[in-house]
Amino acid sequence: MSIETSNCVAKQNGVCNKFPYFTKGIIVKGFGRGSKELGIPTANMCSEAVKSLPENFDPGVYYGWAKLSNNPTVYKMVMSIGWNPFYKNKTKSMEVHIIHEFGCDLYDLTLSVCVLGYSRPEMDFNSLEELIKEIRNDIKTASDNLDSEEAQQYATHCFFTPDSNSS
Ligand SMILES: Cc1cc2nc3c(=O)[nH]c(=O)nc-3n(C[C@H](O)[C@H](O)[C@H](O)COP(=O)(O)O)c2cc1C
């Protein structure tokens, strides 16, 4: 499976010239804490997608759109990039929380994402409850930002159409 990654610099998108960033990759197993401990499942992107991130993608929380290979719907998403300081991970990860309830595992599907903005840096927390509260806040912020007309345009971008997504 080839990973197609492109940094389409939109000179007039008014956000920041590293957005939108388009990438896709296979969903792999993480530690499983997202579903079990946080009640906020995340799709962990394969190492190829993590390695292809541009250098100017600082660790932190991002938002944008996501689409699974078995489903034509483009969903809102929030994404965490980094080492999860609360859990002190040893490996950098790129985890996408799709703002939708699937009720099943998404392993081995290909996830296409369009990243439109940065919300905040990764943080450590004193308790699991504080981490969950902050992620819930990230989800609300992302959802509100993605309601803008400017962001909505990318939900129908040709990147998400089957032909441009077939590799
Ligand atoms: C929107 C969002 C924000 C996150 N912010 C942080 C953070 O600030 N600090 C942190 O340690 N982990 C953060 N995480 C990562 C969670 O700790 C991680 O999703 C959880 O450990 C599950 O990982 P796992 O699927 O590998 O088990 C964030 C995750 C998401 C989806």
How does pLDDT run across 15-53, given as a tens digit for each residue?
A: 457 999 999 999 999 999 998 899 999 999 999 999 999
Please state the pTM of the whole predicted model.
0.90
Residue 30 Cα to ligand 1 midpoint, Å, equals 11
Q: Confirm whether 6 is domain-assigned.
A: no
Is residue 4 among the annotated active site residues? no
Q: Residue 119 domain-assigned?
A: yes
Residue 112, domain CATH: 2.40.30.30
8 A C-beta contact, residue 61 and residue 40: no
| CA 68 / ligand 1 centre spacing (Å) | 20
In a domain, 89, yes or no: yes
Residue 147 lies in a domain: yes
Domain annotation covers residue 5: no
Q: Which of 95, 130, 134, 150 is catalytic?
A: 95
The total number of structural domains that make up the chain: 1
80 Cα to the center of ligand 1, angstroms: 6
Closest C-alpha residue for ligand 1 atom 13: 84
Do the domain assignments include residue 92? Answer: yes
Asked if residue 33 is part of any domain, the answer here is yes
- What's the domain range around 130? 17-160
Query: Is the distance from CB of 61 to CB of 120 less than 8 angstroms?
Result: yes
pLDDT tens figures, 114-149: 999 999 999 999 999 999 999 999 999 999 999 999
For ligand 1, mutation pick of 27, 36, 76, 86 (most atoms within 8 Å of CB): 86
Flag whether 28 is in a domain: yes
Question: Per DSSP, what are the bridge partners of residue 98?
Answer: 77
